[in-house]
Amino acid sequence: METLSQADIFVKNTAKTLDNLYYPKFHVAAESGWINDPNGLIYINGTYHFFFQHYPYSAEWGPMHWGHVISKDLVHWEHLPIALYPDQDYDRDGCYSGSAVDNNGVLTLIYTGNVYLGAEGDDTHIRQVQCMATSTDGINFVKHGPVLYPPEGIMHFRDPKVWRARDSWWMVVGARPENNLGEVRLYQSSNLTDWTFVRILDQAQTSAEGFMWECPDFFNVNNKDILITSPQGIPAQGYDYRNLYQSGYRCGVWEQDSSFTVQEEFKEIDHGHDFYAPQSFTAADGRRIMVGWMNMWNTAMPTQKHGWAGAFTLPREVNYNEHGRLLCTPIVELEQLRTSHDIFKPFTVTNIHMGLAQQYQEYKISFDLANSTAEEYGIMIGDGAKLFIDAQSQRLVLKRESKNPVLNTERSIPLIACSKINLHIFVDASSIEVFVNDGEYSLTSNFYPTNGDSKFTFYANSGQARVSAAEFWKLSNIYSNC
């Protein structure tokens, strides 16, 4: 039988052989192998812990383990030994997603144990239960078995998010009932081990709202209660819901009787190609911080042939504004990574390509839309991605360019009644994160430039583009051993 030490040794040995062409410099990723959902994000006993869904033995998805990294500042990270691996009857086919809480100084993980009742990988015959594990040193974990079983008639029952409020522990769990209308179920406990069903907190009303609501999260920010879900099965609608699965939020009020009154209907959190299963937590100073999986199911992943797949987005501070939007902005701590810095005076790009002399990783750029006449203008990043304003459709477009038609696609957001646009852009070895107008929108995508060339070029077609401000930084590596 596999042991934790065997898994860790395999990861360390495989990491030495990785092709690092596309491996991230300032995004959390596994040292080798597969990674998906962020799990157990928490600040406890003076340390930030991030866990993640991890298959150490391949860059393909497999029986899920929990990878583990820690940080003192949310910027520089250290890989720790794998925290959980599937070795019990109740989780033998995977330690699926979950969350972490501080129980009087004890780091406590609540996760989904997955068991295939039929053939391996057959999701039509499964058993999913919510399980507990604890650690007194933040490194080694003891499993305590299931603490919550699924209700009658429900197999898909996973991704517990646990928090403390109103003198109780609370848990939301995603579920797929027999009617295939996804739902979030709410539970309550006094001790983290004995749970009582309270109510269905929210649920799909039609099949167009998804058959399964994965990875629920529920929190209060700026005096608004936010329910986050990652629904499966929402069909594309115009420019929206173009990924296989989506992640979004509803805003409302969590009433004293524990019902949730929705005030703002579902909106996507991120509008790029690669953002899923976000989880939030409370930082040391009380800010609400969110991290997502920077990939998407059933898409091409060129890094797999290099020995790894998947990474986290940058941590984002979450707020809610008076216009009914969840604002996501890169955390201020990331400024610690900045090294060399350049700033440009306003300039005009006229029917030409204008490349930068150096390669940077962080960019702040403001386009003056009112005084730009080009039909299309923006930036190119090597031969892998373009971010541009389409003046005729009035949209900001992120286009991923590739010979692979699965990857050669674009995502976009509206620019209605905008006279200017402020862009905060992070470009890593194979990813781009774009924050628009102080977090009103974000677009996150992976891209794969030839030979890793991420040269940054301004361009304008059929007219001129006015750049009113431009500032660039090089960023250092986030790993403490680099």
Q: Binning pLDDT at 50, 70 and 90, where does residue 163 land? A: very high
Q: Are residues 289 and 386 in the same domain?
A: no
C-alpha angle 164-168-171 in degrees, rounded to nearest 5: 60
Q: 123 in a domain, yes or no?
A: yes
pLDDT over 80 (residue 2): no
**What is the CA 473 to chain-centroid distance, rounded?**
24
Q: What is the pLDDT of residues 123-143, one digit of tens each?
A: 899 999 999 999 999 999 999
Q: 370 in a domain, yes or no?
A: yes
- As a whole number of angstroms, the distance between CA 217 and CA 40 comes to 12
Structural domain ending residue among the three candidates 330, 345, 371: 330
pLDDT over 50 (residue 482): no
Q: Binning pLDDT at 50, 70 and 90, where does residue 24 land? A: very high
Q: Are residues 239 and 265 in the same domain?
A: yes
Average pLDDT over residues 288-301: 97
Structural domain ending residue among the three candidates 291, 310, 330: 330
Q: Are residues 225 and 350 in the same domain?
A: no
Q: What is the pLDDT of residue 283?
A: 98
Residue 44, domain extent: 4-330
Q: What is the pLDDT of residues 83-128, one digit of tens each?
A: 999 999 999 999 999 999 999 999 999 999 999 999 988 889 999 9
pLDDT over 80 (residue 290): yes
Average pLDDT over residues 299-320: 97
Q: What is the pLDDT of residues 146-155, one digit of tens each?
A: 999 999 999 9
Q: Are residues 305 and 169 in the same domain?
A: yes
DSSP for 251-317, please give it.
Answer: EEEE-TTS-EEEEEEEEES--SSS-EEEEEEE-TTS-EEEEEESS-TTS--GGGGGTEE--BPPPEE
Q: Are residues 345 and 320 in the same domain?
A: no
Q: What is the pLDDT of residues 194-205, one digit of tens each?
A: 999 999 999 999
Q: What is the pLDDT of residue 296?
A: 97
Q: 179 in a domain, yes or no?
A: yes
CATH label of the domain that carries residue 384: 2.60.120.560
CATH label of the domain that carries residue 34: 2.115.10.20
- Give 249's contacts (C-beta < 8 A, 6+ positions apart): 226, 227, 228, 229, 266, 267, 269, 326
Q: 176 in a domain, yes or no?
A: yes
pLDDT over 60 (residue 292): yes
* pTM for the structure as a whole: 0.96
Q: 480 in a domain, yes or no?
A: no
**Residues marked as catalytic:** 37
Structural domain ending residue among the three candidates 303, 330, 357: 330
Q: What is the pLDDT of residue 83?
A: 97
Q: What is the pLDDT of residue 17?
A: 85
Q: Are residues 266 and 198 in the same domain?
A: yes
Q: What is the pLDDT of residues 219-253, one digit of tens each?
A: 999 999 999 999 999 999 999 999 999 999 999 99
Q: What is the pLDDT of residue 19?
A: 83
Q: How many CB atoms lie within 10 A of CB 178?
A: 9
Closest to 443 (Cα-Cα) out of 274, 330, 250 = 274
C-alpha angle 379-380-383 in degrees, rounded to nearest 5: 175
Q: Are residues 106 and 181 in the same domain?
A: yes
Q: Are residues 183 and 225 in the same domain?
A: yes
Q: 107 in a domain, yes or no?
A: yes
Tokens of 476: 């250092």
Beta pairing, strands 326-330 & 316-320: antiparallel
Q: 282 in a domain, yes or no?
A: yes
Q: What is the pLDDT of residue 1?
A: 54
- pLDDT top residue among 18 and 65: 65
Q: What is the pLDDT of residues 332-359, one digit of tens each?
A: 999 999 999 999 999 999 977 778 878 8
Which CA distances in Å does 448 have to 281, 459, 466?
A: 31, 20, 28
Q: Are residues 195 and 282 in the same domain?
A: yes
Q: Binning pLDDT at 50, 70 and 90, where does residue 453 land? A: confident
pLDDT averaged over the chain? 95
Q: Binning pLDDT at 50, 70 and 90, where does residue 16 land? A: confident
- As a whole number of angstroms, the distance between CA 464 and CA 470 comes to 16
For residues 395 and 414, the answer to whether their CB atoms sit within 8 Å is: yes
Q: Number of folded domains in the chain?
A: 2
Which CA distances in Å does 366 have to 328, 363, 420, 421?
A: 18, 10, 7, 6
Q: What is the pLDDT of residue 480?
A: 61
Q: Are residues 80 and 200 in the same domain?
A: yes
Q: What is the pLDDT of residue 366?
A: 98
Q: What is the pLDDT of residue 354?
A: 76
For residues 362 and 342, the answer to whether their CB atoms sit within 8 Å is: no
Which CA distances in Å does 281 have to 170, 221, 271, 313, 333?
A: 14, 11, 22, 14, 16
Q: 481 in a domain, yes or no?
A: no
Q: Are residues 326 and 340 in the same domain?
A: no
- As a whole number of angstroms, the distance between CA 114 and CA 92 comes to 7
Which CA distances in Å does 82 have to 5, 53, 308?
A: 8, 10, 16
Computed on alpha carbons and rounded to an integer, the radius of gyration of the chain in Å comes to 22
Q: Are residues 320 and 346 in the same domain?
A: no
